[in-house]
Structures are given as C-alpha cells and as structure tokens.
Structure 1
Amino acid sequence: MGTVWKSAKELVNSPIRWVDTRFSLQDRLAGRKLYNQGHVKDAVYLDLEKDLSDMTKTTGRHPLPDKETMQELFESHGFEYGDHITIYDQGGMPFAARAYWLFCYAGFPHVTLVREGYEELVELGIEVTTDAPSYTKTSLTLQWNEDIFSTRQQVKNVSEGKPGVLLDARSAPRFKGEHEPIDSVAGHIPSARNLDWEFLKVENRFKEVLEVLPEIEAVVDKNEEITVYCGSGVTAAPLYAMLKEAGFPKVKLYVGSYSDWITQYPVEKS
C-alpha cells in the first residue's frame, strides 16, 4: 500500500516532472489564471477541459480525448516514459487524480499524486514562479493500459450480471435518485454500489489510506473486479486512485460515467 500519494517533502530531492491541474467547475478559466499567477517551478499546466477531456464529444460530460490527441499532448510537453510525473491541484480536488489516471492509462510507469495542494506546497517552501517552462517535443511509443479503462458495453455487461462490481462515487442522495442537480435523469446504473468520493478527503487533502480502508472494505472486496464511475468521470478518479493506493488489483474507470450511461440505458433508484 501507499504508492499513489506522496508528500512533496518525500520528493524534493528527486528529479521530477511537475504537472499543475488546478481547475474550477464553476469558473473554467480559474485554473489557468491561478497557474499564470504562480506555479511550482518547471510545472506544465494541464486543463481539465482543454487537455484532459474532449468537450466536442457526446460520450458524457468530460469525455476522454482520442489516443492520438493524448499522445500529442504528452509529446508537446516533452514527457518521456522514464519521467517521474508528479501532479498537484488545489488539494482535495479530483483534477490531479483525473490526470493521474490518464497518465497511467497511457502507460507511464512513474506517476505520483502530491498529498498537498498548491498553497500547502508554497508553505513548504517548494520553489514557485510565474515563468512558463519550455520543453523539447518528444516522440513516444505509448503502451496503453486497457486493463484500467472500461467501455459502456463492459459496464452494461456487469450491470446485467457478468462478473464485476460497479462502484458509484457520487453522493448518496444522487445515487438513490433523491436529488439530481446536473443530469437529466436521477438514479444510478443498475446493480451499482455507492461509495461517496468526498469521504476520502478532509478539507484540502486526501486522507491516509488506512483511515478510509474500513469504509472501502465494507463496500467492495479486493478479489472483485471493480469499475468506478461518477457523474462525468472526474470525481471517480480519486476513488480509482485510493483503491490502487489500498492495493486493489483489478480497478477500472468508466470515463463516460453516469452522464454517458443515461444517453442509452435505463437506471435504478433506491
């Protein structure tokens, strides 16, 4: 256990590639503004909707970009497979975890989530700047990790009784269909279980894995094949990351999530 999140204090003396993913779903320009006002030295900025999603697609609210687009993104920022990619956001947010999953999907072997958010990094004395770094473009041969990606059809198969567990990361009222502030249909994917991603964090940081393990193990078992989803595929990413931190071997993310599911299939309420 304990391979996903690390404190910046454990990383300062090792060569790393910083990635800033600060974002706000309420103000979509806020993340880039924050980056321009100051970021960790040498960090590149990856925007949830411009870089980590393809908002022209209709497969959910934050659809996955094409593989060619993602490869171009990584190469244009000069990433190499040997890099230790280290990702932060405001702290306790799902945006760094979204980038974490995407780098893992592309097969990067050394990807770390920073336990501290940006303001805490500043307080720790991590060097910050307003200068944007420049990296030489690379040429990558990506080894996509399809074992952590779930399609709508695979989710449908599990929903209809094939082996596996669907794990909904939204709040209990949304899962039960009692309250739905965003999607046009309330409820959840049939057969899913519920584990609210918000319980993984306290204020601006994620909890240690041993703090949350009892709640996780009350809902899912390590031997089960788990597919996590949420509303748009973003807040399920911290749940994916925490399950990996806890040593769960078979975990997938349904990027389209509930917002994609409801375009094709019925839901349950409970």
Structure 2
Amino acid sequence: MGKVFISVKDINHTDYRWIDTRFSLQDAKEGIQKYESGHVSEAVYWNLDTDLSDLTKKEGRHPMAEKDSLIELFRKTGLSINDKIAVYDDGGSPFAARAWWILQYAGFKNSYIVIEGFEAIKEAGLSVDANTPNPKHSLVSPLWDEMIYAPRQFVEETVSGKTESILLDARSAERYRGETEPIDPIAGRIPGAFNFDWEQLKKDGLFNMDESVKVAMETVVDPSKEVTVYCGSGVTAAPLYAMLAENGYENIRLYVGSYSDWISKEGAKVEKD
C-alpha cells in the first residue's frame, strides 16, 4: 500500500485537499467547536458520528455509513478520485485514520494521515482561519476496494477456519483478556484473535514512525499474513490498520462493526483468558 502517514514538514498546503476530523468520544460537540474556532484554510470538517458512521444502524457502536451517504459526503467535499488529500485530527487520535481508511476503501489512494495534530500544524506556519469553505460540488464516483473491508460474515468464516486471515484486536490487553469491559455488555474477545493495543503505536502523544513499532507488530503477526483488525467499535482499529499498511503489511482488512457488532448477535462466541 505504501506511504500512509505524512509530516506537516513535507506538505505544500496548496497541493492537498484538507479534511479536519477532530472529535472526542467523551464530548461529541468538541470537534466541531474546535473546527469553528480555527482550522487549516479550506479544510472541510468530517464528523465521526454523522459523516463517518451511521448511528441509526445496529452493527456496533460506530457502524459503517452507507455507500450512498459516503458518496454524497465525497461530492459535497468536492473531491476527485486522484486528489491528494491530507487528513488531520489532534494528533495521535484515531479519527483521521478512520476517515483515511474510508477514503482508501472508496478508492482515494492519494490520501494521507498527517502525523502532527492541528496545533503543531498551525505552529508549522500553515494557513489557518475560521472561515467555512464552500467547495464546488463534484460528481466523483468511488472505486470501492472490497478487499480491505471485512463484513461480519467474513469474520464468522475466519473464526470457523474458512479463511486464512488472522484476527488482530486493537483494544487494551485487559479488555482483550476479558478482565474488564467498561463499554460493551459482554467482556472478552472474538475467538482466535491476537492482541496489539493501538496505544502502543504512539510515542509522546503522536504516532511513532520508528522501526520499533514495526518490530513490535511483527512479533505478533507476520507481514506475509492476511490480517483483519478490529477493536470495540471500529474506530481505534483504524490507526492499527494504517500503521500495519505503513509498515509493509499488504493484505489487511478492517472489521468496522468490531467487537460491539460481534456480540450483538445472540449466541456469538467469545473467548476470555
């Protein structure tokens, strides 16, 4: 897949379309309030709850938005399929990665996650204002890449041994082992899954681009294997997917429904240590 993350130091502002994805899982209004008080000039705002998810659906806590809704989002953002796109949040958060994965799924292969957060972007001297842009509506048609998407059926087949994919749980080790579950009603993990806490991807609050992350991931799963990542609701699995892609893993899928979707089906099996 190649390069996923990009540093603000390497970006020419005018070469990219900008997407602001700042959000807080504790306060859903925080992100848009930050955006309205200042953002990268010409950046549009994509909201985790209303743009990148469909909370009316039952497939987990942050279900995948329908394709029709995503197409309208892309078009009102004014995107073209070959645009260079820079997606940012507060840095070290999962929200830019969620948007980036959706862009990749839709065929926008020139999209990147900015390593630094908004404050560092501003300090780097990029143009910032509080104006709401009005991009020209496009007629873009996505090129959906179903090979990076894992529907529930695929995960069920993986659990039953019908695929070669390896399940990788991005939650904390305590949640993975079923020792604690602060959010979902049933503790545990999807049977057969391995664990790599997404917090291990960070250093000093930002995603760590050092070789040490690659080494750590390779101790859990071989880069030659197909990997299906999940977390609690599909959000924090996105940066793990992105970091795997950055470090040479070529066959990766994201189970957007994740553990919250898995346990929503009566009788779904879980494992605990």
**In structure 2, C-alpha distance between the alignment counterparts of 1:30 and 1:43, rounded to whole Å:** 17
- Paired position in structure 2 for 1:225: 226
| Matched AA of 1:64 | M
Name the residue aligned to 2:8.
8
- Could you tell me which residue of structure 1 aligns to residue 23 of structure 2? 23
- AA partner of residue 112 (structure 2): T
Partner residue in 1 for 2:240: 239
The aligned residue for residue 167 of structure 1 is 168
CA contact (8 A) 1:183 1:259 kept: yes
CA contact (8 A) 1:2 1:209 kept: no
Question: What CA deviation, in whole Å up to 9, does each residue of 1:224-261 have, x standing for no partner?
Answer: 11000000000000000000000101000000000000
Match of 2:269?
A: 266
Map 1:137-156 to 2 at 5 A. 137-156=137-156
Counterpart AA for 2:41 = K
Cα RMSD (Å): 1.1
- Secondary structure at the aligned position of 1:79 is classed as coil
Q: Write the mapping of 1:124-139 to structure 2, written as runs, cut at 5 A.
A: 124-139=124-139
- In the other structure, the counterpart of 1:116 is 116
What amino acid sits opposite 2:180 in the alignment? H
Percent of pairs identical after alignment? 50
- Pick which of 157-166 and 250-259 moved more: 157-166
Q: Is the partner of 1:211 in helix, strand or coil?
A: helix
For the residue of structure 1 that corresponds to 2:15, the secondary structure is coil
Q: For 2:45, give the aligned amino acid.
A: Y
Q: Which letter does structure 2 place at the counterpart of 1:145?
A: D
Q: What does residue range 207-218 of structure 1 map to in structure 2 within 5 Å?
A: 207-218=208-219
Corresponding residue for 2:205? 204
AA paired with 1:43?
A
| Post-superposition CA distance 1:115-171 (Å, at most 9, x none) | 110011111111100001111111012110000000111101111123110000000
Cα distance in structure 2, aligned partners of 1:29 and 1:146: 32
Q: What amino acid maps onto 2:187 in structure 1?
A: A
Deviations 1:158-214 (A, max 9, x none): 111231100000000000000100000000000000000000012331000512011
Q: Distance in 2 between matches of 1:65 and 1:209?
A: 33
2:72 maps to 72
Q: Is the CA contact (8 Å cut-off) linking 1:55 and 1:61 kept in structure 2?
A: yes
CA distance in structure 2 between the partners assigned to 1:172 and 1:120 by the alignment: 31
**What is the total number of aligned residue pairs between the two structures?**
270
> 1:9-47 deviations in whole A, cap 9, x for unaligned?
111265100100000000000000000000000100000
| Counterpart contact for 2:13–2:126, Cα < 8 Å | no
2-structure distance, mates of 1:215, 1:128: 37
Distance 1:245 1:209 in 2: 11
Measure the CA separation in 1 of the matches of 2:243 and 2:22.
19
Matched residue SS, 2:192? coil
Contact 2:17/2:85 (<8 A) preserved: yes
8 A contact 1:107–1:144 mirrored in 2:
yes
Residue identity in the other structure for 2:263 = I
5+ unaligned residues in a row in structure 2: which ranges? none
Q: Structure 1 residues 6-15 or 38-47, which shifts more?
A: 6-15
